[in-house]
């Protein structure tokens, strides 16, 4: 059996090389069929069905009834491939589908998401990943419960994990619903259930092992799908084939066009709920408050990154502590490829719409002419786009064109007049991004509930088969709940993601960091910190978002984690110092964890 594992690991480069070649061949085949007259709708459906079937096939082939394979992929994942899987896990619907849309409407202020998410990996690499791998646990609550001792600390860890991860997974199902609704021409509320079906097919049977190999395949799809349209648009507009380095001139042109077209802000009516007008300047205004908001949002995303259980779980799957550290480096590289491109994509897409010298420019044209454009009709039909003739002149002004920020990336190929095969490719990439993260999130929740709540607290004598059945049932139930919440459209994709990060940092950031780096941190301090921090952050979110309270010094609902983690830190330190220090065995265990090499501390307990 061991020889089989090793031979499979050795064959990974060849296996994924053939997979990549096969996917490129499929793209070429779709392009040929498009030239032969195959309809755009059929191409979109074929892209989604083909890629989802491939992922489901990987999930089926990776099915397992072994605990270690289900929870940590047998700890056999090489650094390079774990980096790709982590990048796919990380680059969710928010990164692929919503990020460029946020920059598109909000300007450079939204780059705080990119700075925070990327910078968060510096915290993961320096403070977390090698040491959690050295600890040898299966889940984040497993670390919390073992480090601090007792089931109450473990239970609080589970609660924070479930709330943060569930909030995050609704955003991913939101993204899959957005893609499915356009590709299949069904209402968004129906599309989320199609997305959920694909997600469950990938993760239910094989757990972490299936999700890992699926996510490597999904990363290959999503990065190809993200880069091709941007490079194509850049070259088509005369900016060259390396858009990441040359889009500065395009930003300047967009700014000039916005100033030319700007005629005042039109507030959306109820019929435009969730849509945005193009009146937000591409380059946001400066000032002390703008800088403060940028820094605080970036900090929330950094601390949230270092607290999110589904990301930290990925480093439990590597063969060694050293491999976990290398995985972080590969993760950063693969994530960089997309994040470095997102601002360029937002810029070129906006230029396509605003520039009257381009065939794709629509601002300033007759509204009747714009309404006849195919992509406008298709996205309007599923209520992601709307046009208003507010001044009655029949000419489309910049503040009369409304769209959801979540569709900017998905609609870009159509807006730019690229072959529809590129739209199908982008839809497949967006689906891959959202599904890969949703798989990891649902698995993190189900594993925490089945391993840390059911097995560690409720029934420590449960057999392996029973534990894995519980995990799979929870996957289905949690996924269905996530699809239902996503269908309610409580917030945008980016908004839901920001809340998830804030919840995670409010409850878990300092218990994790201090659990490794402060031997004096004890059970009472960790429990009090998690409880008070999580409640304080949740209270602040409610008061600012729905309770009518004015934000304190610009800390709005996207940044409530600052309040939560500050309370968590103060309470944890005060209570730890006011109570007995941890026993000698625990302190020796912490000392051993800080040496990022050698055998895992808890290998014998699992």
Check whether 568 has a pLDDT greater than 90. Answer: yes
Q: What is the mean pLDDT of residues 414-433?
A: 86
Mean pLDDT lowest among 172-181, 197-206, 232-241: 197-206
**CB of 182 within 8 A of CB of 379?**
yes
DSSP 78: -
DSSP element (H, E) containing 385: strand 385-387
Which of 237-251, 295-309, 466-480 tops mean pLDDT? 295-309
Confidence of residue 211 (pLDDT cuts 50, 70, 90): confident
- 387: how many CB neighbours lie within 10 A of its CB? 17
Check whether 347 has a pLDDT greater than 90. Answer: no
pLDDT at 404: 79
DSSP 74: G
Closest CA to 216 of 8, 413, 483: 8
Per-residue pLDDT of 104-143, as tens digits, reads 777 667 788 888 888 887 787 777 777 777 776 667 788 8
Confidence of residue 4 (pLDDT cuts 50, 70, 90): very low
pLDDT at 264: 43
**CB of 415 within 8 A of CB of 160?**
no
| Average pLDDT of the residues of the chain | 80
Confidence of residue 64 (pLDDT cuts 50, 70, 90): low
Per-residue pLDDT of 475-516, as tens digits, reads 788 888 888 888 887 767 778 888 999 999 999 999 999 998
Check whether 2 has a pLDDT greater than 50. Answer: no
Strand 276-277 versus strand 385-387 pairing type: unpaired
Distance of alpha carbon 580 from alpha carbon 525, whole angstroms: 10
Check whether 74 has a pLDDT greater than 60. Answer: no
Number of C-alpha atoms within 13 angstroms, CB side, residue 596?
Answer: 16
pLDDT at 271: 45
pLDDT at 603: 41
Token readout for 281 is 């300047």
Closest CA to 434 of 185, 94, 113, 161: 94
Check whether 268 has a pLDDT greater than 50. Answer: no
Check whether 565 has a pLDDT greater than 90. Answer: yes
Token readout for 224 is 């190809």
Place of tokens 């990060």: 501
Check whether 263 has a pLDDT greater than 60. Answer: no
Distance of alpha carbon 543 from alpha carbon 482, whole angstroms: 24
DSSP 185: T
Number of C-alpha atoms within 13 angstroms, CB side, residue 359?
Answer: 8
Fold classification of 2-278+286-350+414-605 (topology level): Sodium/glucose cotransporter (1.20.1730)
**Would the CA dihedral through 88, 214, 470, 169 be positive or negative?**
positive
In the chain, what are the domain boundaries?
Answer: 2-278+286-350+414-605
pLDDT at 276: 66
Check whether 94 has a pLDDT greater than 80. Answer: no
Distance of alpha carbon 402 from alpha carbon 388, whole angstroms: 8
């Amino acid at each position: 059996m061991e020889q089989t594992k090793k031979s499979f690991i050795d064959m990974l480069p060849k296996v994924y090389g053939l997979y990549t070649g096969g996917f490129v061949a499929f793209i070429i085949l779709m392009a040929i069929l498009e030239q032969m007259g195959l309809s755009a709708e059929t191409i979109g459906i074929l892209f989604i069905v083909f890629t989802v079937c491939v992922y489901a096939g990987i999930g089926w082939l990776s099915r397992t009834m072994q605990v270690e394979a289900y929870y940590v992929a047998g700890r056999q994942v090489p650094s390079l491939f774990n980096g790709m899987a982590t990048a796919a896990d990380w680059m969710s619907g928010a990164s692929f589908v919503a990020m460029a849309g946020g920059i598109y409407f909000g300007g450079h202020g939204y780059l705080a998401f990119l700075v925070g998410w990327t910078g968060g990996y510096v915290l993961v690499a320096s403070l977390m990943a090698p040491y959690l791998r050295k600890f040898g646990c299966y889940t984040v609550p497993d670390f919390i419960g073992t480090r601090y001792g007792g089931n109450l600390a473990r239970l609080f860890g589970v609660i924070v994990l479930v709330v943060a991860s569930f909030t995050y997974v609704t955003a991913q199902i939101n993204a899959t619903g957005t893609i499915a609704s356009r590709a299949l021409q069904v209402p968004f509320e129906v599309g989320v259930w199609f997305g959920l079906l694909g997600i469950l097919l990938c993760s239910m049977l094989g757990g972490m092992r299936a999700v890992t190999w699926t996510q490597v395949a999904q990363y290959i799809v999503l990065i190809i799908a993200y880069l091709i349209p941007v490079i194509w648009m850049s070259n088509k507009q005369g900016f060259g084939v390396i858009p990441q380095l040359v889009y500065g001139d395009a930003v300047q042109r967009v700014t000039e066009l916005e100033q030319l077209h700007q005629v005042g802000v039109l507030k959306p009516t109820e019929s435009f709920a969730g849509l945005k007008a193009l009146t937000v300047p591409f380059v946001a205004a400066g000032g002390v408050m703008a800088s403060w908001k940028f820094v605080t949002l970036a900090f929330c995303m950094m601390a949230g990154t270092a607290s999110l259980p589904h990301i930290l779980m990925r480093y439990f799957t590597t063969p060694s502590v050293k491999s976990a550290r290398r995985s972080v480096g590969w993760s950063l590289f693969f994530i960089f490829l997309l994040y470095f491109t997102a601002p360029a994509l937002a810029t070129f897409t906006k230029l396509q719409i605003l520039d009257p010298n381009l065939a794709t420019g629509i601002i300033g044209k007759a509204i009747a002419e714009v309404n006849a454009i195919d992509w406008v009709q298709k996205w309007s039909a599923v209520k992601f786009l709307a046009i208003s003739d507010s001044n009655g002149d029949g000419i489309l002004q910049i503040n009369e064109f409304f769209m959801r920020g979540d569709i900017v990336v998905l609609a870009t190929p159509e807006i730019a007049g690229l072959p529809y095969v590129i739209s199908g490719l982008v839809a497949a990439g967006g689906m891959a991004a959202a599904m890969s993260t949703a798989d990891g999130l649902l698995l993190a929740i189900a594993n925490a509930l089945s391993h840390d709540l059911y097995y560690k607290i409720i029934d420590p004598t449960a057999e392996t088969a029973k534990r894995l059945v519980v995990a799979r049932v929870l996957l289905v139930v949690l996924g269905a709940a996530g699809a239902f919440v996503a269908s309610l459209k409580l917030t945008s994709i980016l908004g839901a993601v920001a809340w998830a990060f804030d919840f995670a940092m409010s409850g878990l950031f300092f218990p994790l960091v201090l659990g490794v780096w402060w031997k004096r941190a004890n059970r009472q301090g960790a429990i009090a910190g998690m409880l008070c921090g999580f409640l304080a952050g949740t209270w602040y979110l409610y008061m600012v978002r729905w309770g009518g309270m004015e934000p304190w010094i610009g800390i709005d609902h996207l940044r409530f984690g600052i309040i939560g983690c500050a309370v968590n830190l103060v309470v944890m330190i005060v209570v730890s110092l006011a109570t007995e220090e941890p026993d000698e065995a625990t302190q020796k265990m912490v000392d051993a964890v800080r040496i990022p090499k050698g055998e895992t501390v808890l290998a014998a307990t699992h």
